[in-house]
Chain A
């Protein structure tokens, strides 16, 4: 029964869009309760509204802009690290739901495996990112920040760029690879 309700819920694009408003607003309230700076709530609410409008419009760029604004507001608010991690994961889940709301508009028929895959992926990413951040933060706290994080950061950016370039080069080669013609396949000797 619960499975049926979840299924019906995720099949409705507008409901998904509503979640992209509700989730950041809850996070905004949470951040506001732990903030050390003033005027943070306004920024976070504007960012939540921007994400929601982006979901309604089907604009990933608008929702992305709202996410960046929300992250900026959270960073400025000087909240505890655990709360920042929770906000980061929530923002990622918000973007995942935004993507689902775009796919589910106009009421298509959706296989339950779609939202199950999305939920599994989001959970795995959340767990992995939590572990990765815990490790990075632990190392950063052990030693001098400048001597560890700066080289790691530069290396991480460079590695990410190289990874992206390699991946696309490989994909490009696969796509443009010359396939054997039909005559060659029939007559391998020639």
Chain B
């Protein structure tokens, strides 16, 4: 069996499986043994008991065994599997196409797909067809995106047999067809107000005075003012030159830090999903404002995307965030990524983390100590007394550990607040837009109070 992947201009990469010359597909099937045994028994009985009429019972089996042996040819062909789309959103359908090409033809070929848990079958994922000589048979399977993340076709099973079902075999192979499933709320976007700007034109409204579209103020003409800024209507009314001052349109740098904590149980996976949707909304919103956006994912693996502009950066961020869902559980975590020192000093840092671990708290404190304005979104989980956790079996030790963790989290939150980190709690039923708006208001209030 030869397997290779090739890029497709119209769809994602396809996987090819070569059937020609595969010994697993040239085996004797049980029906051959049964028919051969009946044929042999009939011949022996007819001869031994001198009863030619017994041959009437077994002649069809003799004929079919002889025909199968005489007409059998080794299987040749190529099976190619591809998906019509490689990026979809939760709940959308994707069609997986399997092309079977053969020069000699295949009398019966069975294709069975086994997708990963994130893909749900729509209808049967098994199909049986024939391939005529020098032609291609295409079988289409539909799967639905069940949960966000990176999904793939785990296994492709190919079973072939001749027209008498006497010779054939089975082949299992792993397809490289992957589908990236995004969150439905990925289309939302939100942004924060910037305090420090880069000297590059953007869409933020700065408090400074300069070149821009928005009128900030008017004042009498002073030496050095450009004559282009003279407000002729006011100047005419006051009989002296007055100029119009405008807010300059500036851009800023935003770094989103996502705590890729364990997604072991349903509650944690829900928290992870909310974290990712918030990070995605922030990234989309700021990139639309011509801000540079960077992403730092800390947890099982550290992923650092330096701040950049543009739509391509949004795709990069989406890919990195989707990969968070496939992170292995309970592996060792890394909290002091080297990328921390590369975060620009004037960047707004937004951390999405439940702050359950003291190490992530110390990471946030370190970034804050470098002078960056830092906000933390804390996705809260269901309360201990809620209906879902009321019947959970807990022992005394577990309960005490949970209380200790809660106390530790509160201490961490308090210490961060004292350092000037804006922390906003995110309740489970609160939409992402609302909570980001809360962060914006908190930051504005803190700016007014000169908390940082």
Q: Interface of A with B (CB < 8 Å)?
A: 60-61, 63-64, 67-68, 71, 74-75, 81-82, 84-85, 87-89, 91-92, 95-96, 99, 103-104, 106-111, 113-114, 117-118, 121, 125-126, 128-130, 132-133, 136-137, 140-141, 145-146, 149-150, 153-154, 156-157, 160, 163-164, 167, 171, 174-175, 179
User: What are 27 A-B pairs with beta-carbon distances under 8 A?
Assistant: A64-B30, A64-B38, A68-B37, A75-B51, A75-B57, A84-B54, A85-B56, A87-B57, A89-B60, A91-B60, A92-B61, A92-B64, A103-B108, A104-B128, A108-B112, A108-B128, A109-B128, A111-B127, A114-B129, A117-B107, A117-B130, A133-B55, A149-B46, A149-B50, A149-B52, A160-B66, A171-B74
| Residue B289 interfacial (CB < 8 Å) | no
**Are A110 and B34 in contact (CB-based, < 8 A)?**
no
What residues of A have a CB within 8 angstroms of the CB of B62 in the complex?
Answer: 129, 132, 156, 160
Kindly report which residue of chain A lies nearest to residue B51, judged by CB atoms.
Answer: A75
Q: Taking the nearest CB of chain B, how far is it from the CB of A68, in angstroms? A: 6
**Are A108 and B43 in contact (CB-based, < 8 A)?**
no
Known: A64-B37, A141-B52. 6 other contacts (CB 8 A): A84-B57, A92-B61, A108-B110, A137-B53, A160-B39, A175-B74
Does more than half of chain A's interface fall in helix, strand or loop, or is it mixed?
helix
What residues of B have a CB within 8 angstroms of the CB of A60 in the complex?
Answer: 29-31, 33-34
Kindly report which residue of chain B lies nearest to residue A177, judged by CB atoms.
Answer: B21
**Are B56 and A95 in contact (CB-based, < 8 A)?**
no
| Residue B9 interfacial (CB < 8 Å) | no
Q: Taking the nearest CB of chain B, how far is it from the CB of A62, in angstroms? A: 10
| Residue B26 interfacial (CB < 8 Å) | yes
Does more than half of chain B's interface fall in helix, strand or loop, or is it mixed?
helix
**Are A99 and B165 in contact (CB-based, < 8 A)?**
yes
Interface centre among B33, B45, B57 (most CB of A within 10 A): B57
**Are A114 and B45 in contact (CB-based, < 8 A)?**
no
| Residue B35 interfacial (CB < 8 Å) | yes
- Which listed residue (B26, B61, B63, B127) contacts A110, Cβ 8 A? B127
What residues of A have a CB within 8 angstroms of the CB of B42 in the complex?
Answer: 71
| Residue B47 interfacial (CB < 8 Å) | yes
> In the bound complex, how far is the Cα of B33 from the Cα of A125, in angstroms?
18
Interface string of B60-77 (1 = CB under 8 A from A): 111111110110101000
**Are B124 and A137 in contact (CB-based, < 8 A)?**
no
| Residue B335 interfacial (CB < 8 Å) | no
**Are A114 and B128 in contact (CB-based, < 8 A)?**
yes
Interface string of B126-146 (1 = CB under 8 A from A): 111110000001010000000
**Are A113 and B124 in contact (CB-based, < 8 A)?**
no
What residues of B have a CB within 8 angstroms of the CB of A126 in the complex?
Answer: 60
- Which listed residue (B58, B65, B107, B139) contacts A71, Cβ 8 A? B58
